[in-house]
Amino acid sequence: MSERVANLLYRSETSILPGSAAAEHLLGRARVRNSQLGLTGFLHHEEGFFFQWLEGPAANLAAVQKIIESDPRHEAVTYLHRGTEAVPQFPDWRMGYSQHEDDSLLEWLAREPVAQIKREAYARSILMFLKERSRAQHA
């Protein structure tokens, strides 16, 4: 029996600009570490927010979660979902990245209004957006 894939989704606030050198640097570091630790996921960056789905072996995910939480490049990290699944959502992505100019998550959420207080439905909607971005970028 193979181990289940642990995952998390959070939102945070940042002053880093999408597509900036600082964003590229962070992503480069993240991808190297994720590939060493067997983690995958997708990061969307828009209007001063990060939304990130990260998944993999539970112990490695917990270790990287601590690194992310203490990273001064963002603040107010708010978890929207934590769980486990049989298979990863983003198996091919060491860390995908999209920004407002690719598509707007905030507009997506406005078109498909889900109250933030309904945490699981809200998280699902964000996950659907990230999956759509990952499919678009595969082309």
Residues near ligand FMN, by CB under 6 A: 26, 29-30, 33-34, 41, 43, 50, 52, 54, 64, 67-68, 71, 73-74, 95
> DSSP characters for 53-118?
EEEE-HHHHHHHHHHHHT-TTEEEEEEEEEEEESS-S-TT-SSEEEETTT--HHHHHHHS---TTS
Question: CB of residue 25 vs ligand FMN: minimum separation in angstroms?
Answer: 6
Neighbours of 4 (CB within 10 A): 13
Give whichever of 69 and 112 is closer to ligand FMN, judged by the CB atom: 69
Question: CB of residue 66 vs ligand FMN: minimum separation in angstroms?
Answer: 10
Instruction: Tally DSSP H helices, then E strands, for the chain.
Output: 4, 5
Give whichever of 9 and 43 is closer to ligand FMN, judged by the CB atom: 43
Question: CB of residue 24 vs ligand FMN: minimum separation in angstroms?
Answer: 10
Distance between CA 113 and CA 118 in Å, rounded?
Answer: 11
Give whichever of 78 and 118 is closer to ligand FMN, judged by the CB atom: 78
Give whichever of 22 and 121 is closer to ligand FMN, judged by the CB atom: 22
